[in-house]
Copies of this chain bind each other. A is one copy, B any other.
Amino acid sequence: MTDSKISVAIIGTGDIGRGWAALCVAAGWPVALFDRESASLESAPAEIAERAGHLVSLDRAVPDDVEHGVRSLKIARSLLQACEDAQWIIESAHEDLMTKQKLFEAFESVAPNAKIVTSSSTALLPKDISARCRRPDRCLIAHPLNPPELIPLVEVVPGPQTDATTVEVLKAWLRLLKRIPVTIKKAAPGFIAGRIAAAVWREAIDMVLTGVIDVDDLDRAVSVGPALGWAAAGPHLTYHLAAGKKGVTGFLQGLLGTFEGLWASAPTWSKLDPQQQRQLTQAIEKAYEGQIDQIRKARDRRLAGILKGLEQSRQG
């Protein structure tokens, strides 16, 4: 087991950085943290230990690994101290190109031995992030969803100069962490998950703002309806199965007209004005007022339950 433990440096201790850290710590991996904002850096280890421990109570990690990982968790005093011994640098700084470019440039001197350097960016492109690097071959994007310690998908987005071996090694490491890497062939903003999520949220916002449905009913409908279906079979497979033996060809024959009608009437706005933002945030806050920690814990329990149910169904 020892040689399957990768030493990790996590640069940026916001929510996504902490999620990566909780995931690696829960696997018993040695993690070093650094953030230029010392308040965030100081408060990170307690939350990371709590999130990693929570994975034990959700049956997604084992106590020995978590204890080992928590003991090995280090706060670094500098970028150099965080990176000098790391095999994998995970950059999770703010979503700002200049910030990320400077960090990736700095990794050249502070992390000469790191095998892989990933950015958690959700919308920037790998070629831009590594534009100032002399070693873009080891750089790429590994984009997790929130919370990274529970959602298995990691979008792997190589840049034009990323080495093929880098991609393979990263995917192997992600699998050690029980993540499911999916490689994007052509990098475009939003990758896969971001584009799908943006499309869904635009419809979901539109329906609330136009009074078609209330926030909590919309969320419930998506959860127990299409999302459940897609969790068991993605969109293309869903329609391939929907027309029985006729497959997707039969489905298109029967229902393409309906889809074309829905596409033609779909919302096309791309901005929310301040009044719409207020209307939306008020509706969401009213639907879920108070107790955000309890709601989050209940969501995490559901996520863990779904993952366990899926795993059991695959063994059956």
Name A's B-contacting residues (CB within 8 A): 15, 95, 122-123, 145-146, 151-153, 155, 180, 182-186, 188-190, 192-204, 207-208, 210-215, 217-245, 247-249, 252, 254-256, 258-266, 268-272, 277, 280-281, 284-285, 287-288, 292, 295-296, 299-314, 316
Contact = CB atoms under 8 A, between A and B. Distances in A.
8 contacts: A122-B255, A153-B224, A180-B224, A189-B265, A199-B266, A219-B233, A223-B233, A260-B270
A184 B213 contact: yes
A195 B228 contact: no
Nearest to A47: B244
A98 B283 CA distance: 39
Contacts of A316: 301, 305
**Ranked 7 nearest A-B pairs via Cβ:** A219-B234, A309-B309, A305-B313, A153-B225, A227-B230, A198-B262, A263-B270
Contact of A196 (B200, B208, B214): B200
A231 B240 contact: no
B299 A310 contact: no
Contacts of A185: 211-214
